[in-house]
Amino acid sequence: PGDVEELLNRADEIAERLSSELHVHPLMRRQTDLALHLLSDHASGVARQIPYYTVSLLAVALFYFLEKEDAIPDWLPTMGTADDALVLGLQVGGLGAD
């Protein structure tokens, strides 16, 4: 729960990062918004039925996005957010697989 709260407290940082990156696909923006909304609904008790497995995967994906020095460093033009988009897309894309 603490990690989810930390992510929700950093939502502005996530939004700022998305808006400052030049090569972020609109789909990634929508997936990030969806992940934050699901985590917010879960944390507030509105949607407690969201499995902890899903909550943890979404949280990991967003923490990965916030990490600037990951598999492909974010300072690399065009490619820097490709791995972030892949990790987030895999998590959001797999939501209906449970």
For residue 10, how many other CB atoms are within 10 A of its CB?
16
Closest CA to 66 of 26, 27, 1, 9: 9
pLDDT band at 97 (very low <50, low <70, confident <90, very high): low
User: Apex CA 13: angle with CA 75 and CA 94, to 5°?
Assistant: 80
What is the per-residue pLDDT across 44-77, written as a single tens digit (0 to 9) for each? 999 988 888 899 999 999 999 998 888 888 888 7
How far apart are alpha carbons 98 and 93 in whole angstroms? 11
Q: What's the pLDDT score for residue 12?
A: 94
Q: Which two tokens stand for residue 86?
A: 């892949």
What is the per-residue pLDDT across 13-41, written as a single tens digit (0 to 9) for each? 999 988 887 778 888 899 999 999 999 99
pLDDT band at 9 (very low <50, low <70, confident <90, very high): very high
How far apart are alpha carbons 39 and 72 in whole angstroms? 26
